Amino acid sequence: MTRFDYLIVGGGMTADAAAHGIRERDGKGSIGIVSADQHSPYNRPPLTKGLWKGDEPDSIWRKTEETGAELLRGRRVTSLDPGARKLTDDAGTSYEYGSLLLATGGQPRRLEGAPEGVVYFRTLDDYRRVHDLSDRGSTFAVIGGGFIGSEIAAALRMQGRDVTMLVREQGIGTKVFPGDLARWLVEYYREKGVTMALGKSLERIEHRDGRYTVYAGKEQLVADAVIAGLGIEPDVALARGAGLTVSDGIDVDEQLRTSRPEIYAAGDVANFFNPALGQRIRVEHEDNANTMGAVAGRNMAGAGERYDHLPFFYSDLFDLGYEAVGQVDARLQTVADWKEQFREGVVYYLEAGRVRGVLLWNVWNQVDAARALIAEKGPFRPEQLKGRLPTG
């Protein structure tokens, strides 16, 4: 049995940030990271962006080794006994801990009955596989118009690949963007050479003679490879099995403790209360993984910090880019303030006159100003928001 003062389950960005957070306060305590991944922690955002634009492959690695943590890779933790403060992995190895962090992230949603070989894009190995297929000139069907689908479709098209996107809705990013922007993005993708199949629900996928046929209504798409971006399910199995409180993710308090105070959770898997929004949220983005991971690490080492950060996120779609803060949810009332329509401007998301989220579309360095606006109680009338933040 190995004992660590600090044990982290999961080997993603949150785990790495936590190990660094622990070291900010405790230079000596032993840190163990048990990760199902075969690789050391790496940044995921470049897998659909920078690495396709010439960033060095080695630029993705986090510097986890600098923390002195012992990284136990390729091991999935299968049971957690909070009473005994003990974990066991799939190789039968057991570990004891002083405090524990669950940074288990999420698993991509899969298509029921789909053949082997469909890529549910999330990992470095997925990137390497798709890159290799792209180098061989493959054609691609991309299923889903959310973050992963829209980014990987753009990345592949920028390599000159033949890409068809199959999207159930009538736009790209319909959960996030106002309807007119989501629909305009479809035309923008078409101009860039992506074939768009909209309003089609996937029925089945067949794999024959090395090619895939995707059936959706009367549509039949044939491609060498299929990539699905259908979102993730938080990986709560371990927490649930251990009797921790789980809702949409693992519930944590303001100091990121679960229902067992010596067990923390952070990153994509954690459900936390955000004071600026006045509600519990779960966030699947980089800034949250980094900031929350670091706070969890410091708290494991006794800092007692509150996590009251309102995370931002970002994405790149061909030559467009954006940052967004708060509840960027297309179901809310939206007020757009364009400097140039759909090219540069700010979209405000309102609920009962309060700004809940801000989309900064090709507008930079305004994330903190957007956070301050969300913290204001208002109420705001739509016309009061025009010009509130610089539009470019």
Ligand X SMILES: Cc1cc2nc3c(=O)[nH]c(=O)nc-3n(C[C@H](O)[C@H](O)[C@H](O)COP(=O)(O)OP(=O)(O)OC[C@H]3O[C@@H](n4cnc5c(N)ncnc54)[C@H](O)[C@@H]3O)c2cc1C
Residue 209, classified by CB atoms within 10 Å of its CB into exposed (0-12), middle (13-18) or buried (19+), is exposed
Task: Compute the least distance from the CB of residue 377 to ligand X, in Å.
Answer: 27
Measure the CA–CA gap between 199 and 57, rounded to whole angstroms. Answer: 36
| Contacts of 227 by beta carbon, 8 Å cutoff, 6+ apart | 118, 119, 121, 130, 140, 141, 142, 143, 149, 152
**Cα distance from N-terminal residue to C-terminal residue, the chain:** 57
Among 8, 77, 205, 244, binds ligand X (CB under 6 A): 77
Of the ranges 137-145, 190-198, 278-286, 360-368, which one interacts with ligand X (CB under 6 A)?
278-286
Q: Identity (one letter) of the amino acid at 265?
A: A
User: Which span sits near ligand X by CB under 6 A: 13-21, 128-136, 295-303, 319-327?
Assistant: 13-21
134 binds ligand X (CB under 6 A): no
Q: Using CB under 6 A, which of 26, 169, 268, 337 touches ligand X?
A: 268
Q: Among the candidate windows 180-188, 218-226, 241-249, 286-294, which touches ligand X by CB under 6 A?
A: 286-294
Interface region with ligand X, contact rule CB under 6 A, candidates 167-175, 243-251, 271-279, 281-289: 281-289
Indicate whether 13 belongs to the interface with ligand X (CB under 6 A): yes
Which candidate, 242, 270, 277, 239, places its Cα nearest to that of 255?
270
| 307, 256 contact by CB (below 8 A) | yes
Residue 98 or 108 having the CB closest to ligand X: 108
Residue pair 325/370 in contact (Cβ under 8 Å)? The answer is yes
Interaction mask 83-122, ligand X, x per CB under 6 A = --------------------xxxx--------------xx
For ligand X, which is the closer residue by CB, 13 or 165?
13
- Per CB under 6 A, contacts with ligand X among 151-190 are none
Sheet containing 270-274: which strands, arranged edge to edge? Answer: 246-247, 249-251, 270-274, 279-281
Cβ neighbours around 389 below 10 Å, total? 18
For strands 204-208 and 211-216, give the pairing.
Answer: antiparallel
- For residue 249, the minimal CB distance to ligand X (Å) is 10
Cβ proximity to ligand X, 189 vs 313, nearer residue = 313
Give the residue, chosen from 299, 315, 334, 366, that forms a contact with ligand X under the rule CB under 6 A. Answer: 315
Looking only at residues 17 through 76 of this chain, which bind ligand X when binding is defined by CB under 6 A? 34-37, 44-45, 47-48, 76
- Residue 271 binding ligand X, by CB under 6 A: no
The reply to whether 337 sits near ligand X by the rule CB under 6 A is no
Report the residue count for the chain: 392
Among 26, 169, 286, 337, binds ligand X (CB under 6 A): 286
How far is Cα 67 from Cα 16, in angstroms, rounded to an integer?
A: 9
Q: Is 323 in the site for ligand X (CB under 6 A)?
A: no
CA dihedral 108, 112, 115, 120 (to 10 degrees): -10
Contacting ligand X (CB under 6 A), which of 267, 297, 345, 357?
267
> Which of 6, 313, 318, 361 is the binder for ligand X (CB under 6 A)?
313
74 Cβ partners below 8 Å, 6+ apart?
Answer: 35, 36, 37, 38
Q: If binding is defined by CB under 6 A, does position 326 make contact with ligand X?
A: no
> Which is nearest to 263 in space by CA: 275, 247, 251, 279?
251
DSSP states of 256-272: SB-SSTTEEE-GGGEEE
Pick the stretch among 12-20, 215-223, 336-344, 368-376 that binds ligand X (CB under 6 A).
Answer: 12-20
Decide: is 234 part of the binding site for ligand X (CB under 6 A). Answer: no
Residues near ligand X (CB under 6 A):
9-15, 34-37, 44-45, 47-48, 76-77, 103-106, 121-122, 148, 235, 238, 267-268, 284-287, 289, 313-315
